[in-house]
Structure 1
Amino acid sequence: MKTIVICSGGLDSVSLAHKVATERELVGLLSFDYGQRHRKELNFAAACAKRLGVQHQIIDIREIGRHLTGSSLTDDVAVPDGHYAEETMKTTVVPNRNAIMLAIAFGVAAAQKADAVAAAVHGGDHFIYPDCRPGFIAAFQKMQNHALEGYANVTLYAPYVHVSKADIVADGAKHRTPFAETWSCYKGGVRHCGRCGTCVERREAFHLAGVADPTDYADPDYWIAATGAFAAEEVK
């Protein structure tokens, strides 16, 4: 099945690209520049495409991104530290980001005669991001069936939507994903900060999966306190 992977350059989407390259026919990677402060992630997506020998397209939607205000990923708002499932992480929501990207990706897939679009949304995102939940995935597929009726039949492949980040790490290791060549940190510095939600989640996922974490973190041990504090809140 000819599949285009939406690839940010992060651990999840790069792992998905390697999975698709092994199990399906990977025809290309599609990335989006929406004005994110961690734009350096796109370099990792490009490296992934080169490694897998497929086309890499970057869609520039920065003008759209300028209007999706209020997020710490696009505005002059501090990226919060802590566990990904804390209420403070809602500042990292970019309104309708996945819906916009998927709609474009489906159009590209239809134009290029691809059979599927793959997205690396996962179970750990459900608390914060409504457009990463199973209900959204099912509804989006239904909408696209109507949008492309009689023209193309494109399916949304989201194999991680019901699993954890640790499961993705395990699956990525199975498909020999070079984790050191992925970028997660929302702060977009020289090194992974180790403190923002994506860094904490990344570090925790490797620990739970029992896979060595090759990531260079500025604060490699912060995740222990962050996950402990979150667990304490869950017990209350």
Structure 2
Amino acid sequence: MIRRLKACLNGGRTRGEHPAVPVTPAELAVAAAQAVAAGAEAVHLHPRDTDGAESLDPADIGPAVAAVRAGCPGTPVGVSTGLWITGGDVARRHATVARWAALEADQRPAFASVNVGEEGFAELSALLRDAGIDVEAGVWSPRDAGRLDGVPVDRVLIEILGTPAAGAVAAADAILGRLDHLGVTGPRLLHGEQDACWPLIAHAGRLGLPTRIGLEDTLVTEDGRPAAGNADLVRRALRVWDAQRERR
């Protein structure tokens, strides 16, 4: 269970965007261990192939997950299933992720994020859960919340993307309100990307909801300066989250 914070180590970022972006399994393991030492309770990563491109292939997923798990034993390790990784090919994504079930236990992710608004969400979620992999349902809008009906998931990610800082809290509250209206229960995690990141770290603290941060979501600190790396972001986010929580 994530009580306060999950680290999102790399996403689709390149080292051209930030020199500390981890790409290889060894780099991901070091970054994860540093993030966990800084206070992260779980890690989310986007494994890469030999060319550095995001990959769902078990030959790339397995080594990355195993390396991270060895670097921070006992910490839940999760990955993305973003449809863009297979170029929008739903059938190829389904077939590739189905092969994760054959991975050794130390190579199999503990959880995977599945975007509710992407085609094949329900089928992919069922496949993951059958393989013993928890499903994080990425909800990007109030409309997405309605698509959760009848699909068992283990955690709902309220994800605010492409939203200015000034509108981030209102966008998050609209989704949270819709989830409540629909009676969607269970664990929730609230976060934003880019300009929405830091306002929602604070809002998550006020609400007592866990959040996430890392180079996937932002390259800057809460005061707008370049972040040193994932561990730096984790430490700063926990201070912001805790400060808001204490004000309640």
Give the TM-score category using the shorter length. 0.3 to 0.5
Normalising by the residue count of structure 2, what TM-score does the alignment of the two structures yield? 0.32
Q: Whose RCO is larger (CA < 8 A, sep 6+)?
A: 1
Normalising by the residue count of structure 1, what TM-score does the alignment of the two structures yield? 0.34
